[in-house]
């Protein structure tokens, strides 16, 4: 299965600060905000972005699941409905590796909560940037096929159980980039994400909608 490693991603300080402000119930003293500057530089040294993916034909669409490849089911009624007429689906896992979260844990254990918090925020922003790189690759695939890329959907939302991450990780060979899915479906390293994107002429693109529109828990999302 294809993988992409060794690429760099930019970290935008304003994005990190915005995420700090969005986190409800967390301290906003000057020390916490100043820690972002230091955390950004450390994050650049700790992040190891990587992407694993593969393309699968859509073989059947049922009421509550989409069947791809050799009978593998994506157990989501929303995915089944929106991807039903797409000929192909791209499954992808992306990560920033384990070094940053290990450093965050060590800082927290040592009582340096502002730095740990800021570094975790920086990691979240960089994970999002890695996802943008991955989605950009899928858009390039779609363009090469003369078609369109849909909005992405993630296991672990209200309509797609977390267990779906184990299937995606297995199908794309996520172990090649150091990512494993635990029995619960949680990916490790924790700053890793799995998603599915349909390729087809009749798909809902990011210009037309968002995966958040289909999540019953969107009002609880802080980021």
pLDDT of residue 223: 46
| Per-chain mean pLDDT for the chain | 88
Tokens of 204: 């809902």
pLDDT at 219 > cutoff 70: no
User: How are beta strands 50-61 and 66-68 bridged, if at all?
Assistant: antiparallel
Domain boundaries, the chain: 3-220
What's the fold here for domain 3-220?
NADH Oxidase (3.40.109)
Higher pLDDT: 17 or 91? It is: 91
pLDDT at 19 > cutoff 90: no
The percentage of the chain sitting over the pLDDT mark of 90, rounded to a whole number, equals 65
End-to-end CA distance of the chain: 31
Residue 194: in which H helix or E strand, if any? strand 192-200
| Average pLDDT of the segment spanning 72-80 | 96
């Amino acid at each position: 299965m294809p993988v992409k490693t060794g690429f760099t991603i930019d970290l935008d300080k304003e994005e990190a600060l915005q995420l700090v402000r969005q986190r409800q119930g967390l301290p906003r003293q000057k020390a916490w905000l100043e820690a972002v500057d230091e955390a950004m530089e450390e994050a650049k040294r700790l992040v190891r972005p990587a992407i694993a993916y593969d393309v699968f034909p859509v073989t059947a669409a049922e009421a509550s699941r989409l069947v791809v490849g050799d009978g593998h089911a994506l157990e989501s009624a929303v995915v089944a409905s929106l991807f039903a007429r797409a000929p192909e689906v791209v499954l992808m896992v992306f990560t920033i590796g384990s070094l940053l979260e290990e450093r965050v844990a060590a800082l927290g254990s040592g009582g340096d909560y502002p730095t740990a918090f800021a570094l975790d925020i920086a990691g979240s922003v960089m994970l999002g940037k890695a996802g943008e790189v991955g989605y950009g690759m899928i858009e390039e695939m779609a363009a090469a096929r003369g078609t369109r890329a849909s909005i992405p959907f993630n296991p672990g939302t209200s309509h797609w159980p977390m267990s779906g991450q184990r299937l995606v990780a297995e199908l794309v060979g996520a172990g090649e980039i150091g990512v494993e899915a635990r029995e619960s479906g949680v990916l490790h390293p924790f700053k890793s994400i799995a998603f599915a994107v349909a390729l087809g002429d009749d798909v809902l693109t990011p210009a037309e909608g968002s995966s958040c529109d289909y999540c019953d828990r969107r009002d609880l999302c802080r980021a």
